[in-house]
Amino acid sequence: MMGMEDISILIEKWREIYKAEVKSKKKHREEVKLTPENYFNVVRPFFMKISPEDREYVRTFRMVSYGMLEYSPSLRTLILRGAGYNLARRLIETGEIKDIDDLPKVFLNQKIGLLDIVDESFSKMKVNIYECISCYQAPPIGRTLCDFEAGLIQGVIGRAYRKKYNT
């Protein structure tokens, strides 16, 4: 396993990629339909290094997640956000998460993605998730794919701080 220093360097590299994308204003890309290639051919560079079977893990997760989009996008959102929220609750109950600062480690250990808390204040927090299990290398489809991750973050903030937040 990589050390925390190596992960910090990796996060900095991803931040630079993020900043370059924001600067280039590639926000309004053409929307496309998800295809099996979007879950069969995903290679998350960092996670493949630490876990060679990562491709299969991502494929299985995305087959379920993307499959729900075909039947009921709104139900998919509720189910995945609820699953993320419930995972947060369990991780808080077991002591694996004590506060928001534990989230990057949990995202890494659970192979959900590389969570980067870019900016936080008393009323606002900005996070980026690099190599996200839900959306890394997925094309823009006009909606959020990271409902599980949003539910997990929302659950930690809500349970750890006993407040209700929008993600």
pLDDT digits (tens, 9 = 90+) for 149-159: 999 999 998 87
Q: Is residue 33 part of a domain?
A: no
Q: Is residue 18 part of a domain?
A: no
Q: Is residue 28 part of a domain?
A: no
Q: Does the pLDDT value for residue 114 go beyond 90? A: yes
Q: What domain count does the chain have?
A: 1
β-strand pairing of 125-130 with 114-120 = antiparallel
Q: Is residue 19 part of a domain?
A: no
Mean pLDDT in residue range 119-128: 85
Mean pLDDT in residue range 55-73: 93
Closest CA to 15 of 107, 112, 115: 115
Q: Does the pLDDT value for residue 1 go beyond 80? A: no
pLDDT band at 77 (very low <50, low <70, confident <90, very high): very high
Place of tokens 């928001």: 100
Q: Does the pLDDT value for residue 48 go beyond 80? A: yes
Q: Is residue 130 part of a domain?
A: yes
Q: Is residue 57 part of a domain?
A: yes
Q: Is residue 20 part of a domain?
A: no
Query: How many CA atoms are closer than 13 Å to the CA of 127, on its beta-carbon side?
Result: 22
Dist CA 112 CA 115 (whole Å): 9
Range of the structural domain that residue 122 is part of:
38-161
